[in-house]
């Protein structure tokens, strides 16, 4: 795997919980768009043209076709799947380094807190990132 791809996947892992929040916000924006200039003319005049639309179908297709939202979901799903397949010891290493104390601990610190060696913690990290990349179809 290229170093840049590894870094990309690793940054996605760091951002896992932020991405979950962004997905939720994006869905809310799509489902409940803000109209800055609402049409206050609710009565139809003789020259009015009424358009018939299916707002539910429109909203559904927007949700399905929103590329950014789709990619965020793919990333979150891949991380979730791979993480939940790990044994508890590996989960603890990943959780501690990426989510509980990001940027706070070195790999030596993670190893010490989890009762593993630095080499083992780094090997588990590499395996985790590679599995997430494979799940996403990256090389």
Q: Could you tell me the CATH number of the domain that includes residue 61?
A: 1.20.140
Structural domain harbouring 22? 3-32+54-135
| pTM of the model as a whole | 0.76
What domain count does the chain have? Answer: 1
Q: Is residue 39 part of a domain?
A: no
Q: What is the pLDDT of residues 49-91, one digit of tens each?
A: 555 567 777 677 666 667 888 899 999 999 999 999 999 999 9
Q: What is the pLDDT of residues 34-53, one digit of tens each?
A: 665 565 666 555 555 555 56
- Residue 136, pLDDT score: 94
**DSSP secondary structure code for residue 104 in this structure:** T
């Amino acid at each position: 795997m290229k170093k840049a791809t590894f870094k990309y996947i690793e940054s996605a892992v760091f951002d896992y919980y932020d991405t979950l929040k962004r997905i939720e916000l994006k869905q809310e924006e799509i489902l409940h768009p803000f109209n800055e200039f609402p049409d206050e003319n609710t009565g139809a005049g003789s020259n009015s043209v009424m358009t018939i639309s299916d707002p539910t179908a429109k909203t559904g297709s927007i949700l399905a076709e929103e590329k950014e939202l789709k990619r965020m979901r793919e990333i979150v799903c891949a991380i979730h799947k791979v993480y939940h397949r790990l044994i508890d010891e590996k989960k603890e290493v990943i959780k501690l380094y990426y989510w509980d104390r990001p940027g706070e601990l070195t790999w030596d610190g993670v190893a010490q807190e989890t009762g593993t060696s630095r080499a083992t913690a780094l090997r588990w990290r590499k395996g985790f990132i590679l599995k997430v990349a494979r799940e996403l179809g990256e090389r």
